[in-house]
Amino acid sequence: MSYCKPRVLPPVVHPTRYCEDHRYSKTIVPHIHPQHIKKVDHQKYEHVHYYPHSYSNYKPVYHDHSYCGKPCNRYEKY
């Protein structure tokens, strides 16, 4: 009977993977608006709001591992 002793390599230590965990909370801010009535001349200001967008992207890379050859079988007879 023949036995193939495995060769053990040093471990491959990968960089730390950082993930994001988004948590949201709600805070209520009371606004107090005292009122007083009097005659007023009105002038209107129209405020127009714009929301420009920017974009970003990333290109993930994937790896497939193929195992070629035959592993040692300790029960195999030669």
CA distances from 73 to 4, 8, 23, 29, 65 (A): 8, 17, 51, 71, 21
Q: Please tell me the total number of residues recorded for the chain in this structure.
A: 78
What the block records as the tokens of 1 is 């009977």
**According to the model, what pLDDT value does residue 71 have?**
63
Kindly give the parts of the chain with pLDDT less than 70. 1, 67, 69-78
pTM over 0.75: no
**According to the model, what pLDDT value does residue 75 have?**
58
| Whole-angstrom distance, CA of residue 78 vs CA of residue 71 | 15
